[in-house]
Chains A and B, each alone.
Chain A
Amino acid sequence: MKAIGIILAGGNNNRMQELSNKRAIAAMPVAGSYRCIDFALSNMSNSHVQKVAVLTQYNARSLNEHLSSSKWWDFGRKQGGLYTFTPTVTANNSWWYRGTADAMYQNLDFLRRSHEPYVIIVGGDCVYKLDYNKVLDYHISKKADITVVCKDMPADADVSRFGVLKMNEESRIVEFEEKPMVAQSNTISTGIYVIRRRQLIEMLERCAMEDRYDFVTDILIRYKNMKRIFGYKMDGYWNNISTVGAYYQTNMDFLKPEVRKFFGSEPYIYSKVADLPPAKYNTGSDVRNSLIASGCIINSKVENSVLFKKVFVGKNCVIKNSIILNDVYIGDNTHIENCIVESRDTLRANTYFSGGDGIKIVYEHNERYVM
């Protein structure tokens, strides 16, 4: 493989509300069986990228635990492998990662000591499937300095939380605005970049000298007219999960057969194996249009919902339009509608939760076993 991979998985934001307390966005459970970073990792692995660094700093316990073994994504090789880099104090540096460019700069040795000519930089907070080799081939054929993978969003989509760009007829990016108040186009950056390794090192060093820390504003936008920066339009499913609404929608998208088929066919998405028994439906279960992960035990009504691994649903419950994260215990006669229930929670019997017109995040902090 001609490239190494970098997954930026450090961040979090307040638009995830309480969901961000527990973990970095990249470690958010997605679609019943996965964590968000599985998509980037599987894409790397399926594109035969052999050496991947995950850069992380926010509440990384969940993420570290998930990445404790690299074998699930087939990175347990003699050549290359999976590296997790958190900020460390060194002779010249005692800062946290102050931005995406700074995060890479603080790990410049990883870039310097690699021999592969290219670097594929991706975020850990997107759900998609992409063969990075196609982007790399495009990058080489365009003689680009940087290639930005971008996507046309539907005309009515709110793109104000993305980088919005415009390309000319030869696909060179002529305008790039980060999180614009009023967007000029509906083509957005997916946060996936291909760049020559030496070029990246040079740009990061220059950035650091000027006390600049962000890859998008301080490299992409600043170099836009000086360097050959191209856009590669991807098709197929792509979604960023970093707001509660987007997270909810991404999970619900997996109820659509075409989305399941896209992710369920080769090349597969891999994840850490949980060793749970298959889902069990007892008398009283009435499950409609829902995704159910392994280890679940269901005794009542579940409709238009996504149940993650090892959820127990008691008797006479109603669960509607909701997302129940891993290892939740739901007592008898409980009603849950338009909610996201945080993982490892215990909901007492005879309780009622509703998000009304919005989405409510439920986290009850109850003890599961009362002595």
Chain B
Amino acid sequence: MIGLIRKEMIAMLLAGGQGSRLGVLTSSVAKPAVAFGGKYRIIDFPLSNCINSGIDTVGVLTQYQPLRLNTHIGIGIPWDLDRNNGGVTVLPPYEKSSNSEWYTGTANAIYQNLTYMESYHPEYVLILSGDHIYKMDYEVMLDFHKENNADVTIAAMPVPLEEASRFGIVITDEEKRITEFEEKPEKPRSNLASMGIYIFSWKVLKDALIAMSEQSSCDFGKHIIPYCHERNQRLFAYEYNGYWKDVGTLGSYWEANMELIDLIPEFNLYEEFWKIYTNSDIISPQYISGESVIDRSIIGEGSEIYGEVRGSVVGAGVTIGKGSVVRDSIIMKDTVIGDNVIIDKSIIAECCTIGDNCQLGIGEEAPNKLNSSIYSFGLVTVGENSVIPAGVKVGKNTAISGETQESDYPDGVLASGEYIIKAGDGV
């Protein structure tokens, strides 16, 4: 056989999830495609980590609302993943001669792409998820895996013990070998939480996936890791102590954005070392007018600011009109905010239009009537392509999606805890 392609390690990036806890933000895009930090999308972080770690073969598994993700990734040019051999490949579920199905779980999705992985004859496979903000050198993790002659290495980080019950928790011996693994335990016995990043030796992964192929909704945390553990395979925990943020809820998503504003943020995008790459179609500089006030903010390319921006993250191509004030908010790409608008603690998704004289984020907090666990933290959340008519007032813990009209706002007010969902299959 001539010209056998061999890659030491390839990455499989799980990007098919909806991220339903982000509410209207993910009603028409997958969570990894949600904007972050005034320029990026969440998937840019694991993709950039891959290329910075020397991994040039990445399979991206998509399922939920993949259009934005597909156009963003393209052929991988921004991440230098347009390669003759390898590069980035988008892997959606596909029809087979028998047993055609959607991706029913994280491990099931990988199982359905065994042929893709096989074609690169890898020695190791790195499993990543597309919804975390962090910088990590996977090559160092691979060295750790090799040194320990491990079958599976799980990246894990210390978390406060009181939060540990939200995570998969690993318990290790002094050599970092995992002795026990507990998925979301009620009484955690360790504070080392799995970050959902795994390195498998290829044979071990392949055998486990095939053995567990009949398992319904086959999941790494619930099924594959316990399977390997039960068979006494060498599982190790690779301890990671840098910045890592799961932006799974509106609160944590908002917080992670706000942390970028700090004078020297813990997660610093301005370091020369370990750049984050993205696909950006707007490259012109931003304009700040003579009447503007900008304080403690991040502003994206091509934006035109005529008003006041304080403590906010503003994406590319945004217009903020005269006399408007934006505070503690996230404004995504191409949104237009009219004149004399006041926006407090809001998340406004891409391509929205906010009419003149609107006020967002007023009054006292009240629990959201649609889903109080999603729309909380006192935030106003506006889904993409939404329109808010001029002059209306919007309270806290609210959600708006679609082209709303004045008649949707009784007395011109959307009270705290209310919602208007007009378009799409959101929520």
Query: By the criterion of a CB under 8 Å from any partner CB, how many residues of chain A are at the interface?
Result: 39
Q: Is B295 an interface residue (CB 8 A)?
A: yes
B277 at the interface (CB under 8 A from A): yes
Closest to A289 in B: B290
Q: Are A278 and B294 within 8 A (Cβ)? A: no
Are B287's CB and A255's CB within 8 A?
yes
- State A270–B285 Cα separation when bound (angstroms): 13
Chain B residues with Cβ below 8 Å from A264 are 284, 302
Determine whether the beta carbon of A281 is less than 8 Å from that of B295.
yes
Rounded to whole angstroms, the CA-CA distance of A4 and B37 in the bound complex is 41
Cβ-based interface call for A190 (8 A) = no
- Whether the pair A33, B296 counts as a contact (CB closer than 8 A) is no
Q: Is B292 an interface residue (CB 8 A)?
A: yes
Tell me the chain B residues, 283-300 only, with Cβ under 8 Å from chain A.
283-300
Q: Does A291 count as interface, using CB distance less than 8 angstroms?
A: yes
* Interface members, chain A 240-275 (any B CB < 8 Å): 254-255, 257, 260, 263-264, 268-271, 273, 275
Question: Which residue of chain A has its CB nearest to the CB of B39?
Answer: A278
Residues of chain B within 8 A of A294, CB atoms compared: 39, 285, 300-301
Chain B residues contacting A273 (CB-CB under 8 Å) are: 78, 280, 283
Scan residues 28-82 of chain A and give those whose CB is less than 8 A from a CB of chain B: 31-34, 71
Residues in B304-319 with C-beta less than 8 Å from chain A: 304, 309, 314-316
Find residues 345-372 in chain B having any chain A CB closer than 8 Å to their own CB.
Answer: none
Contact between A290 and B37 (Cβ–Cβ < 8 Å)? no
Considering the chains assembled together, what is the distance between the CA atoms of A291 and B287 in angstroms?
A: 5
For the complex, give the distance between the alpha carbons of A268 and B269 in Å: 27
Residue contact A283 to B39, C-beta cutoff 8 Å = no
Which residue of the partner chain, among A285, A286, A289, contacts B289 with CB atoms under 8 Å?
Answer: A289
Q: Give min CB distance, B346 to chain A, whole Å.
A: 19
Answer yes or no: B276 CB below 8 A from chain A CBs.
Answer: yes
A282 interfacial by beta-carbon distance below 8 Å: yes
Q: Is the CB of B296 within 8 A of A260?
A: no
B298 x A280 contact (CB < 8 A):
yes
Q: Does A288 contact B (CB under 8 A)?
A: yes
Q: Give A308 to B288 CA distance when docked, in angstroms.
A: 14
Contacts of A281 in B (CB 8 A): 294-299, 309
The reply to whether A278 and B38 contact each other, CB–CB distance below 8 Å, is yes
Contact of B77 with A by CB under 8 A: yes
Given A260-B284, A291-B285, A291-B287, does the pair A33, B295 have CB atoms closer than 8 Å?
Answer: no
Min CB–CB distance B178 → chain A (angstroms): 36
- Do residues A282 and B296 form an inter-chain contact, with CB atoms below 8 A? yes
Among B270, B285, B294, which residue has the most Cβ atoms of chain A within 10 A? B285
Q: A277-B37, A277-B39, A297-B270 are in contact. Are A288 and B289 (CB under 8 A)?
A: yes
Q: Which residues of A contact B299 (CB under 8 A)?
A: 278-279, 281, 292
| Structural contact, A32 and B302, CB atoms closer than 8 A | no
The distance in angstroms between the C-alpha atoms of A306 and B284, with both chains bound, is: 12
* Contact of B166 with A by CB under 8 A: no
B275 on the A face (CB < 8 A): yes
- Residue with the greatest number of chain B CB neighbours at <10 A, chosen from A280, A282, A288, A292: A280
B292 and A287 contacting across the interface, CB-CB below 8 Å:
yes
Give B294's nearest chain A residue, CB to CB: A281
Asked whether any CB of chain A lies closer than 8 Å to the CB of B4, the reply is no
A281 to B294, CA, bound (A): 7
Closest to A280 in B: B298
Query: Do the beta carbons of B284 and A33 come within 8 Å of each other?
Result: yes
Asked if B1 CB lies within 8 Å of chain A CBs, one says no
B263 on interface, CB distance cutoff 8 Å? yes
Q: Does A295 contact B (CB under 8 A)?
A: yes
Is A229 on the interface with B (CB-CB < 8 A)? no
- Identify the 10 closest CB pairs spanning chains A and B, nearest first: A32-B285, A277-B269, A278-B38, A293-B285, A289-B290, A291-B285, A281-B294, A287-B288, A278-B300, A278-B39
Given A31-B284, A269-B284, A285-B294, 4 additional A-B pairs, CB 8 A: A263-B284, A271-B283, A278-B37, A279-B298
Chosen A-B contacts, 10 in total, with CB atoms closer than 8 Å, are A277-B270, A278-B38, A278-B39, A278-B299, A280-B298, A281-B299, A288-B289, A291-B287, A294-B300, A294-B301
Which residues of B pack against A, CB within 8 Å? 37-39, 77-78, 261, 263, 269-270, 275-278, 280-281, 283-302, 304, 309, 314-316
